[in-house]
Amino acid sequence: MIELDALPPLIVERVELRRVAMPLVAPFRTSFGVESERDILLVNVLATANGDAVSGWGECVALAEPTYSAEYVDAAQRVTEQHLLPRLAVVETLTAADVGRMLGAIHGHPMAKGAIEAAVLDAQLRAAGRSFADLLGVTTDNGLPTQIPSGVSVGIHEQVDDLLATVQGYLDDGYVRIKLKIEPGSDIEHVAAVRELIGPDTPLQVDANTAYRRTDGQHLARLDEFDMLLIEQPLPEEDIVGHAMLAAEVETPICLDESLVSAAGTADAIDLGACEIANIKPGRVGGYLEAIRIHDLCLERGVPVWCGGMIETGIGRGANAALAALPGFTLPGDISASNRFYAQDIVTDPIRIVDGHVTVPTTPGMGFDIDADVLDSVTTTTSIIEF
């Protein structure tokens, strides 16, 4: 367990909520829609700790529309302003561990809650002069930076030729694992062509984002011959039993993403045989602390995990990279370089890929420093909540 008690508590003065508009370098199509621009809510906690002024940032990964999950960015901002922050403003001092506990009575909204928790943790770590990687115990003993393998997620392409050209580009960039978005009609043929292009040794997996039904077991079993790492979230998020049925029918391991929203639910899904591999996304599960609990649980149960992505800016990516260095993350995550999605990031040292790997940040805080000028240039609105 990580030593959160070693971090100084915050006396929060105010919280600034920023909305930023970040165009993507290319449209990203999934089975639930096309993303061309991210409209992102950022939470900035301004506080004092040990008498010094400190600032911490968290990124809310909710999308503009409630298509990936029920959360969406306008609602995330509203619940943050009207329900979440007011419940936190009543205490003298605040810690990251307090956030989840104090917000427990509010149902849902894990992405909004997770962004607040991350901002508080970032401020606490900065006050202590410690990195998230250090808190997690994932720094190296020999002074060399920790490296994690970098996977890339490839959107659905109408034409197989276009898909192959895109995948080849990512192979040239050095990505060590390819994830293909699939949906009915864009699956077997696409996977077959990509497997042929990348050869038998490059790890490959697919993500359906809930696009199939229980009756698709035999169809999905046709993917077995392509020797993939996993099939991610083939069925709707509530259908845990359906995933267990598919896991019995399909040889390729079934991985859950959207279905996993807590450690308790993850344990149940594992017990039911529905979750052979887990995708851990801090935002989806309410924050990094719950993500760590899910990691610990899966490590104990022998269930491999990997770190998912939500097209984060460097704020979320830096922290994800540290998380993904924990020992249970035995599969490459969706921790691609910043330039896979953004021409310009809002942090000073965006995540880069070198030899297929990303360096885990070790600067104080959650793993990034804000580039204030760029951030200002992409900010669309700011609102301030006094504590």
Nearer to ligand NPG, 209 or 259 (CB): 209
Contact 193, 167 (CB under 8 A): no
- Quick one: which of 58, 286, 308, 367 contacts ligand NPG (CB under 6 A)? 308
Q: Is 30 in the site for ligand NPG (CB under 6 A)?
A: yes
**CB under 8 Å to 326, separation ≥6 — which residues?**
136, 138, 292, 295
Determine the interface stretch with ligand NPG among 162-170, 216-224, 248-256, 307-315 (rule: CB under 6 A). Answer: 307-315
Q: Say how many residues touch ligand NPG, by CB under 6 A.
A: 14
What are the percentages of helix, strand and coil residues in the chain, rounded to 5?
Answer: 35, 25, 40
Q: Is 234 in the site for ligand NPG (CB under 6 A)?
A: no
- The one-letter amino acid code at 296 reads D
Contact positions with ligand NPG (CB under 6 A) in 55-94: 63, 68
Nearer to ligand NPG, 114 or 308 (CB): 308
Nearer to ligand NPG, 275 or 385 (CB): 275
- Quick one: which of 122, 187, 290, 334 contacts ligand NPG (CB under 6 A)? 334
Rounded Cα distance between 281 and 290, Å, is: 10
Determine the interface stretch with ligand NPG among 43-51, 97-105, 112-120, 309-317 (rule: CB under 6 A). Answer: 309-317
Show the site string, 87-126: x = touches ligand NPG by CB under 6 A, - = not.
----------------------------------------
Which is the catalytic residue, given 181, 195, 284, 317? 181
User: Could you tell me which of 117, 42, 87, 115 has the C-alpha nearest to residue 382?
Assistant: 42
DSSP letter assigned to residue 131: B
**Least CB distance from residue 65 to ligand NPG, whole Å?**
10
Q: Is 336 in the site for ligand NPG (CB under 6 A)?
A: yes
**Alpha helix ranges (H) inside the chain:** 73-79, 85-88, 96-102, 110-128, 132-136, 160-173, 188-198, 217-221, 240-249, 263-271, 288-301, 314-323, 372-378
DSSP letter assigned to residue 38: E
Strand ranges for the chain from DSSP E:
11-30, 33-49, 52-60, 147-149, 151-154, 177-181, 204-207, 231-232, 254-256, 277-280, 305-307, 357-359, 379-386
Contact positions with ligand NPG (CB under 6 A) in 266-285: none
| Two tokens, residue 367 | 């793993």
Q: What are phi and psi of 151, to 5 degrees?
A: -105, 160
- Residue 113 falls in the annotated catalytic set: no
Nearer to ligand NPG, 308 or 318 (CB): 308
Contact positions with ligand NPG (CB under 6 A) in 140-179: 153
Rounded Cα distance between 120 and 124, Å, is: 6
Cross-sheet strand order for the sheet of 151-154 = 151-154, 177-181, 204-207, 231-232, 254-256, 277-280, 305-307
**Least CB distance from residue 37 to ligand NPG, whole Å?**
12
Which is the catalytic residue, given 243, 281, 295, 340? 281
Nearer to ligand NPG, 232 or 276 (CB): 232
**Least CB distance from residue 298 to ligand NPG, whole Å?**
17
**Quick one: residue 143, left, alpha or beta (phi over 0 = left, psi -120 to 50 = alpha)?**
left
- Quick one: which of 8, 9, 110, 309 contacts ligand NPG (CB under 6 A)? 309
**Least CB distance from residue 153 to ligand NPG, whole Å?**
3
The label of the residue with tokens 């039904």 reads: 213
Contact 24, 313 (CB under 8 A): no
Q: What are phi and psi of 362, to 5 degrees?
A: -125, 15
Rounded Cα distance between 78 and 74, Å, is: 6
Nearer to ligand NPG, 55 or 67 (CB): 67
Nearer to ligand NPG, 63 or 263 (CB): 63
Closest CB to ligand NPG belongs to which residue? Answer: 309
DSSP letter assigned to residue 83: I
Q: Is 207 in the site for ligand NPG (CB under 6 A)?
A: yes
**Least CB distance from residue 308 to ligand NPG, whole Å?**
5
- Quick one: which of 209, 210, 259, 313 contacts ligand NPG (CB under 6 A)? 209
- Residue 281 falls in the annotated catalytic set: yes
Active-site residue list: 181, 281
State the residues that interact with ligand NPG by CB under 6 A: 30, 35, 63, 68, 153, 207, 209, 257, 308-311, 334, 336
